[in-house]
Amino acid sequence: MRVGVLTGGGDCPGLNAVIRSVVRKGVQEYGFDFLGVRDGWLGLLKNDVVPLDVGSVRGILPRGGTILGSSRTNPLKHDNGLHRVRETLTAHEMDALVVIGGEDTLGTATELSRQGVDVVGVPKTIDNDVSCTDFTFGFDTAVGIATEAIDRLHTTAESHMRALVVEVMGRHSGWIALHAGIAGGANVILVPERPFDLDQVCAQVMRRFEINYAPIVVVAEGAVPREGQLIVKDQSLDEFGHVRLSGIGEWLAQEITARTHKDARTTVLGHIQRGGTPSAFDRWLATRFGLHAIQAVADGDFGRMVALEGTRIVRVPLADATAQNKVVDPALYDEFEVFYG
């Protein structure tokens, strides 16, 4: 059997760990052949594939990024896109495809699966917003990076008695903001799921100054003020129709200064959250996802995504996992009420 492996969408730490475990188990246990697809779906549009064997996945476990490259290419937005994808699969006699991606990449995998291509999905994203899995790999690393940044910002904020706003990633969901904000002891945590009230944010900031502490505000890039709109970097859209976010942190710092007359500055963590070596947990999760994904291929159990349920890896229908994003439950957000303000 010949299996293609593809990584699509924004990269995240742990992609290489999945590739490694898929190939190791696939070759050693099932005697499969592998081809790596370059740059996500783009590689199948352009017929750009490379051989993948045990030798080529040696030493990549701790490496961030993806040895296969990634892109936000959406075959459905290209002339005859799905047809070209299928042609490449046929030309290389690929019997099955392991697709490692987030909502967009796995959404395309769902469509291909509907059209009869044998696909198994693996959920990745630092945003942790893929449904039907407790966690995606990459998230733990991003939370660790953001938490360390918040720890560092506390001391400088206190030296200067100023408010520091930390903008983290999270387009539709505030998982990184909530986890890192709580782990880092932030006073205000703003998530896309809950439009925020600027007066309340300023009151929480002032309360902190009043007890002689410097406030730390963590804001997800997709958070929106109740009386306002999403702040975007520019008007351009990617092939999945997403705008480029970032800017809410700077806007918030300016508003805080204007309304409280306190000095407020912004740190945008950006792609630092996506780069570098994966945490031990992400290597563990990515490795398990890879082992179970290739087992699903061997079982002929296609149209499925591997997922974490408690401590078990299970298989769920790809269509269920990609039907909607997994967002922060309001009850979970409210659990930390005592720390806000």
Question: Counting contacts by CB under 6 A, is residue 121 touching ligand F6P?
Answer: no
Question: Counting contacts by CB under 6 A, is residue 128 touching ligand F6P?
Answer: no
Coil, strand or helix: which one is 58? coil
Footprint (CB under 6 A) of ligand F6P, residues 175-204:
none
Question: Do 98 and 112 contact (CB within 8 A), yes or no?
Answer: no
Of the residues 39, 127, 140, 282, which is catalytic? 127
Question: Counting contacts by CB under 6 A, is residue 171 touching ligand F6P?
Answer: yes
Distance (Å, rounded) from C-alpha 340 to C-alpha 146?
18
Q: Which residue lies nearer to ligand F6P by CB, 270 or 330?
A: 270
Number of residues forming the site for ligand F6P (CB under 6 A): 13
Phi-psi region of 173 (alpha: psi -120 to 50; beta: other; left: phi over 0): beta
Question: Do 198 and 256 contact (CB within 8 A), yes or no?
Answer: no
Question: Do 201 and 252 contact (CB within 8 A), yes or no?
Answer: yes
Q: Which residue lies nearer to ligand F6P by CB, 96 or 245?
A: 245
282 is catalytic: no
**Distance, CA of 297 to chain centre:** 24
User: Could you give the maximum distance between any two Cα atoms of the chain, in Å?
Assistant: 68
Question: Counting contacts by CB under 6 A, is residue 43 touching ligand F6P?
Answer: no
Footprint (CB under 6 A) of ligand F6P, residues 130-169:
169
Q: Least distance to ligand F6P from the beta carbon of 9, Å?
A: 6
Neighbouring C-beta atoms of residue 333, cutoff 10 Å: 18
Coil, strand or helix: which one is 245? strand
Question: Do 57 and 24 contact (CB within 8 A), yes or no?
Answer: yes
Distance (Å, rounded) from C-alpha 53 to C-alpha 316?
28
Residue 132, amino acid:
C
Question: Counting contacts by CB under 6 A, is residue 170 touching ligand F6P?
Answer: yes
Q: Which of residues 126, 164, 253, 321 is near ligand F6P by CB under 6 A? A: 126
Choose one: 79-87, 124-132, 145-153, 193-201; the region binding ligand F6P (CB under 6 A): 124-132
Footprint (CB under 6 A) of ligand F6P, residues 248-287:
274
Q: What residues are annotated to the active site? A: 127
Residues of this chain that interact with ligand F6P (CB under 6 A) are: 10, 72, 102, 125-127, 169-171, 221, 244-245, 274
